[in-house]
Amino acid sequence: MHPHIQINPRICNGKPVIAGTRIPVTVIVDQIIAAGSLENLNALYPELDRQQIIAALQYCHTVIDHTEFESLAA
């Protein structure tokens, strides 16, 4: 687990969040898509530093990389 990511069943129903905040990783990803850049995201969430944002993306990569997907092709 990355030190910037926290999973606690008492915070945001156990969703992964930026450690020390209640900002879920999924919100970071959604906002990067909407904001278009890390700099724009940082303007929306000035309390986050670049390392925390990158940690959220790294966490997503790790989860996807360690997930087995069932083929949708029939």
pLDDT tens string 48-63: 999 999 999 999 999 9
Residue 65: per-residue pLDDT: 86
Residue 74 in any domain: the answer is no
For 10-36, what is the mean pLDDT? 94
Mean pLDDT of 1-10: 90
CA dihedral (33, 38, 39, 45) positive or negative? positive
Number of structural domains the chain divides into: 1
**DSSP 3-state of 23:** coil
Return the C-alpha torsion angle 61, 62, 64, 66, nearest 10. 160
> What proportion of the chain, given as a percentage, has pLDDT over 70?
91
CATH number at residue 53: 1.10.10.10
72 domain-assigned: no
pTM of the model: 0.81
Q: Range of 38's domain?
A: 5-65
Contact at 8 Å (CB) between 53 and 42? yes
Q: Is position 70 within any domain?
A: no
